Amino acid sequence: MDTEITLRVDGAAHPLTVDTRTTLLDALRERLRNTSPKKGCDHGQCGACTVLLDGRRVNSCLVLAVTVGDAEVTTSDGLAADGQPHRLHRSFVEYDAFQCGYCTPGQVCSAMGVLAEARAGWPSAVTGDLDDADVDLTDAEIRERMSGNLCRCAAYANIVPAVAAVAQAEGVRR
Partner 1 sequence: MREFRYEQAPDAAGAVALLAGAPGGAFLGGGTNLVDLMKLGVATPDVLVDVRELTSREITDLPDGGLRIGAGVPNADLAADRRVRERFPVLSQALLAGASGQLRNRATTGGNLLQRTRCGYFTDVTKPCNKRAPGSGCGALEGVHRNHAILGQTLEGPGTCVATHPSDMAVAMLAVDAVVRVLGPDGERAVPIAELHRLPGDDPSRDTTLRHGELITAIDLPALAFPSRYRKARERASFAFALVSVAAALRVEDGVVRDVRLALGGVAHKPWRVQAAEQALVGGPATEEAFAAAARAELDAATPLRDNRFKVPLARNLVVRTLLDLVEVSR
Partner 2 sequence: MTTIDRVVGAGVDRIDGPAKVRGTAPYAYEQDPGEPIAHLAVVQSTVNRGRVTRLDPARAEAMTGVLTVLTPDNAPRLAEGLASDLPVLQSLDVAYQGQVVAAVVAETSEIARAAVGAVLVEYAAEEPDVVLSADRQDLYAPEQVNAGFATDSIIGDVDQALGAAAVTVDATYETPTQHNNPIEMHTSMARWDGDSLTMWDANQGPHTIVNDLAKGFGLDRGQVRVISPYVGGAFGSKAFTHPNQMLAAMAARVVARTVVFELSRQQMFSLVGHRTPTIQRVRLGADADGRLTAISHEVVEHTARIMEFAEQTATPTRLMYAAENRRTTHRLARLDVPPPTIMRAPGETPGMFALESAMDELAAALGMDPIELRIRNEPAQDPERHVPWSSRHLVECLRTGAERFGWAGRDLRPRKRTEGRWLVGTGVASATYPTRRRRAQCRISVDGRGRYTVEIDGSDIGTGAWTALSQIAADALATDLGSIELHIGDSRLPRAGGAGGSTGLASWGSAIVLTARDLRRRLDDEYGGQLPADGVSVDGGVEGEGPHAKTHSMHAFGAHLVEVRVDQDTGEVRVPRATSVYDGGTIVNAKTARSQFLGGFSMGVSMALHEESLIDPRLGHYVNHDLAGYHVATNADIGELDISWLDEPDELANELGLKGIGEIGITGAAAAVANAYWHATGLRVRDLPITPDKYFRELDLA
Q: Which residues contact partner 1 by CB under 8 A? A: 1, 3, 19-21, 23, 42-44, 47, 50, 56-59, 62-64, 66-67, 110, 113-114, 117, 120-125, 127, 130-131, 143-145, 147-149
Return d(Cα 146, Cα 138) in angstroms, integer.
12
Q: How far apart are CA 9 and CA 70, in angstroms?
A: 10
Total interface residues for partner 2 by CB under 8 A: 60
Kindly give the residue spans of alpha helices, DSSP state H, lying in 14-154.
24-26, 87-94, 104-119, 139-145
Residue 5 partner contact from partner 2, partner 1, none using kind-dependent CB cut-offs of 5 to 8 Å: none
| Contact of residue 158 among partner 2, partner 1, none (CB under 5-8 Å per partner type) | partner 2
Q: From the list partner 1, partner 2, none, pick the one residue 142 interacts with, judged by a Cβ distance below 5 to 8 Å according to partner type.
A: partner 2
Does the protein bind partner 2 through residue 14 (CB under 8 A)?
no
CA dist., res. 72 & res. 131, Å (int): 32
**Closest distance to partner 2 from the beta carbon of 132 (Å):** 20
Map residue 160 onto helix, strand or coil.
helix
DSSP 56: E
Q: Does residue number 11 form part of the binding site for partner 2 (CB under 8 A)?
A: no
> 33 vs 43, which CB is nearer to partner 1?
43
Dist. CA 21–CA 18, nearest whole Å: 8
CA 17 remoteness from chain centre: 25
- How far apart are alpha carbons 41 and 163 in whole angstroms? 24
Which residue type, as a one-letter code, is found at position 123?
P
Determine which residue in the list 104, 112, 118, 166 makes contact with partner 2, applying CB under 8 A: 104
Q: Which region, judged by CB under 8 A, interacts with partner 2, from 16-24, 52-60, 66-74, 128-136?
A: 16-24
- The site partner of 119 among partner 1, partner 2, none (C-beta below 5 to 8 Å per kind) is none
